[in-house]
Amino acid sequence: MTILVTGSAGRVGSKVVQRLLDDGKTVTGFDLRASGIAHPRFREVVGAFDDRAAAAAATEGATAVLHLGAFMSWLPGDADKLHRANVDGTRILLEQAVRANLERVIFASSGEVYPENVPDYLPVDENHPVKPRSPYGLTKLLGEEIVRFVERVSGIPATILRFSHTQGAAELLDPASFFSGPRFFLHPKIRQQESFGNAAAVERLREIDDGRESLVISRNENGRPFKMHITDTRDMIEGILLALSSPKAAGCTYNLGATTPVDFAEAVTLMAKLTGLPVKIVDLPGSGVFYETSNARIRTELGFEPTWTIERMIAEAAAARAERTKAA
């Protein structure tokens, strides 16, 4: 059995590759970038998902495909690149993959297909209507359609996992982190909002900036702190491997993520306590981010049980930050 893991240089994919190798599996990686993983049971194709020759090379001999790679961006100018990577890339990858002796496809989708931050009801479950609002969310929904189309016409069973937001714990207190920098640190947040062209948000953020590196509690215009799921990548890996090994996951769609959402006021207060960083509070224009997503289906049907609470993640993040500070 050879398992193809796309996005093998990424946050989730690289850890899944390592875990499968540790479990004795033979693995092919496929990513735009080299993963740096060296192992006798690992080969890697460096190339783009929508490059048919690269996709053919990557899928050769695969008995399962974990399609975990994707381009993630919320910048206004990135729509073409998103569609090439996530829509055409998924189509071409799977067209090539069905030529191999495939038994299973697992696809990493996203809560942005609902989208969770503009919910019709809470908690968001798998029956929630899908009405993405970002180009990224649209490409994930189109990816899901391609996966189900391929499943219908080829008979190869597929599982769609709608991922919660996920990070390695150490990223939480790293101002350079793609996600956590702008989420929890004031200066990266100002730069992010500038790049999105959100002038009103930039103005509010600048008002509270005293020049120091600070944590920031984001709230909506009525002072309600943001709330969303942040799932440790280690829990996501358990969910992905469960979906791969469970026959009853075939043909199913699951939300995959932590059980409890994170209240930003509580989380940032704990971060400040463990790091000594100052905290600023900002009330941003609009209704803000405030959602809860149900993982009941994957817990009940597959026995998924996340173990990394946000408190455990923040403790690990604070230790990692202290190490970085010592080394600098």
Which of 19, 21, 32, 320: binder of ligand NAD (CB under 6 A)? 32
Element at 311 (helix H, strand E): helix 310-327
Which of 42, 49, 114, 291: binder of ligand NAD (CB under 6 A)? 49
Task: Examine residue 270 and tell whether it contacts ligand NAD (CB under 6 A).
Answer: no
Of the pair 193, 233, the CB lying nearest ligand NAD is at 233
Task: Examine residue 165 and tell whether it contacts ligand NAD (CB under 6 A).
Answer: yes
Stretch that binds ligand NAD, among 149-157, 162-170, 182-190, 291-299 (CB under 6 A): 162-170
- Judge contact between 128 and 292, C-beta under 8 A: no
Task: Examine residue 312 and tell whether it contacts ligand NAD (CB under 6 A).
Answer: no
- Judge contact between 209 and 190, C-beta under 8 A: yes
- Closest distance of CB 67 from ligand NAD, Å: 7
Beta strands in 130-271 (DSSP E): 158-163, 166-167, 215-219, 227-228, 231-232, 253-256, 262-263
Q: Using alpha carbons only, how large is the chain's radius of gyration in Å? A: 20
- Closest distance of CB 17 from ligand NAD, Å: 11
Q: What residue spans of the chain are helical by DSSP H?
A: 11-22, 52-59, 79-83, 89-97, 135-154, 180-184, 186-196, 199-207, 233-245, 264-275, 296-302, 310-327
Task: Examine residue 163 and tell whether it contacts ligand NAD (CB under 6 A).
Answer: yes
Which of 28, 110, 117, 177: binder of ligand NAD (CB under 6 A)? 110
Task: Examine residue 79 and tell whether it contacts ligand NAD (CB under 6 A).
Answer: no
Which of 5, 20, 27, 68: binder of ligand NAD (CB under 6 A)? 68
What's the rounded Cα separation, in Å, for the pair 28 and 113?
28
Task: Examine residue 133 and tell whether it contacts ligand NAD (CB under 6 A).
Answer: no
- Closest distance of CB 181 from ligand NAD, Å: 14
Q: How is residue 67 annotated by DSSP?
A: E
- Judge contact between 228 and 291, C-beta under 8 A: yes
Stretch that binds ligand NAD, among 66-74, 221-229, 301-309, 320-328 (CB under 6 A): 66-74
Question: What is the number of other CB atoms lying within 10 angstroms of the CB of residue 260?
Answer: 13
For residue 152, the number of C-alpha atoms closer than 13 Å in the C-beta half-sphere is 6
Q: Which tokens belong to 93?
A: 């990858």
Question: What is the number of other CB atoms lying within 10 angstroms of the CB of residue 305?
Answer: 13
**Per-residue mark of binding to ligand NAD, 11-30 (x: CB under 6 A):** xxx-----------------
Residues in contact with ligand NAD, counted by CB under 6 A, come to a total of 23
- Closest distance of CB 11 from ligand NAD, Å: 3
What's the rounded Cα separation, in Å, for the pair 120 and 174?
33
Which of 10, 239, 261, 288: binder of ligand NAD (CB under 6 A)? 10
Task: Examine residue 284 and tell whether it contacts ligand NAD (CB under 6 A).
Answer: no
Task: Examine residue 108 and tell whether it contacts ligand NAD (CB under 6 A).
Answer: yes
CA dihedral 85, 32, 243, 255 (to 10 degrees): -50
Q: Which residues bind ligand NAD (CB under 6 A)?
A: 7, 9-13, 31-33, 48-49, 68-72, 85, 89, 108, 110, 163, 165-166
